[in-house]
Amino acid sequence: MKKINYEVDNLPLKTHGSAKLIAVVDDEADIVELLRINLEKAGFKVKGFEDGAGFLNFLKIKTPNLVVLDLMLPDADGFEICKYLKKHDKYSSIPVIMLTAKGEETDKVTGLELGADDYITKPFSPREFIARVKAVLRRDEVENKSYKIRIGNMLEIDLQKFETSINGKKVDLTTTEFKILRLLSERKGWVYARDQILDHIGSQEKGVLDRTVDVHIKNLREKLGPAGVFIKNIRGIGYKIEE
């Protein structure tokens, strides 16, 4: 397997008109075409790639609104590409849906731990796939005015800018992590069950639901550092934020 170059130009995020741009990265041409047809019917723009190098080169020109990523590519490991995106300042907030034939629980957990927002196994229903894409892309509407939530004397959440900071220093969260943090912080002290959190983030993957939430919370706490203690685990129920 030829090693690909992960260096990507540090360009600002770009918009692509009213239609959101979906990047589909899969080594099966038939799958890429199937997804392209269904996504375009649903009103999205689509750019397909059959290898990792082509996708990463594309990032030098445009930034997609969402990436559909196969794990087994001819020139790269999908896990490594996801890991790179989530660690890159300009691309860490791009939602990633992993689409693969690898359906083992360990693979799903690994994908989620790396920051993937959803995990779909082949074979799949195109109709369900589109629903999952829309769920991941869904954003809570934010008022036009600046609206910030403060937790303790260190954590600040800017709902308009979609940013989180600890003691004034920005923390890069994935889309899913930010949505969970916002849900918990908007009603401090309220306990949210795992299934309520899953409904909020739009995850519908069956089989590892409780583990899915726990992985996202674990990643969120680690990124928040000292502010992670505000997220409390209510045994047997779910999570809450408490100062």
Q: Could you please report the per-residue DSSP string of the chain?
A: -PPPP-----PPP---SSSPEEEEE-S-HHHHHHHHHHHHHTT-EEEEESSHHHHHHHTTT---SEEEE-SB-SSSBHHHHHHHHHHSTTTTTS-EEEEES---HHHHHHHHHTT-SEEEESS--HHHHHHHHHHHH------SS--EEEETTTEEEETTTTEEEETTEEE---HHHHHHHHHHHHTTT--EEHHHHHHHHT----S-HHHHHHHHHHHHHHHHGGGGGGEEEETTTEEEE--
Q: Is 219 exposed, middle or buried (0-12, 13-18, 19+ CB in 10 A)?
A: buried
- Find all residues with CB under 8 Å of 41, minimum gap 6, and list them: none
Model confidence at 33, pLDDT cuts 50, 70, 90, reads very high
Nearest alpha carbon to residue 96 among 112, 77, 74: 112
Positive or negative: CA dihedral 177, 199, 34, 107: positive
Number of domains in the chain: 2
More confident residue, 25 or 235: 25
In a domain, 5, yes or no: no
Per-residue model confidence (pLDDT) at position 208: 52
- Give the tens place of pLDDT for each residue, 104-161: 777 778 877 888 888 898 888 999 999 999 988 875 333 334 478 889 889 999 887 7
Tokens of 63: 């930034």
Question: Which CATH number characterizes residue 215's domain?
Answer: 1.10.10.10
State the Cα–Cα distance between residues 124 and 126, nearest whole angstrom. 6
| 133 lies in the same domain as 192 | no
Q: Which range marks the domain in which residue 226 is found?
A: 148-241
| 177 lies in the same domain as 116 | no
Model confidence at 204, pLDDT cuts 50, 70, 90, reads low
| 155 lies in the same domain as 133 | no
Please give the average per-residue pLDDT across 212-233, as a whole number: 93
State the Cα–Cα distance between residues 184 and 8, nearest whole angstrom. 34
- Give the tens place of pLDDT for each residue, 38-87: 999 999 999 999 999 999 999 888 889 999 999 889 988 888 999 888 88
- Say what the pTM is: 0.56
Per-residue model confidence (pLDDT) at position 236: 84
Q: Which of 137, 164, 195 is the last residue of a domain?
A: 137
**The pLDDT of residue 92 is above 90:** no
Question: Which CATH number characterizes residue 131's domain?
Answer: 3.40.50.2300
| 75 lies in the same domain as 179 | no
**The pLDDT of residue 200 is above 50:** yes
Query: If you average pLDDT over every residue of the chain, what do you get?
Result: 83
| 111 lies in the same domain as 163 | no
Tokens of 138: 């869904």
In a domain, 118, yes or no: yes
Per-residue model confidence (pLDDT) at position 145: 41
In a domain, 143, yes or no: no
| 128 lies in the same domain as 215 | no
Burial call 127-163: b when 16+ CB within 10 Å, e when fewer? eebbebbebbbeeeeeeeeeeebebeebbbbebeeeb
Per-residue model confidence (pLDDT) at position 13: 36
In a domain, 142, yes or no: no
Contact 159, 153 (CB under 8 A): no
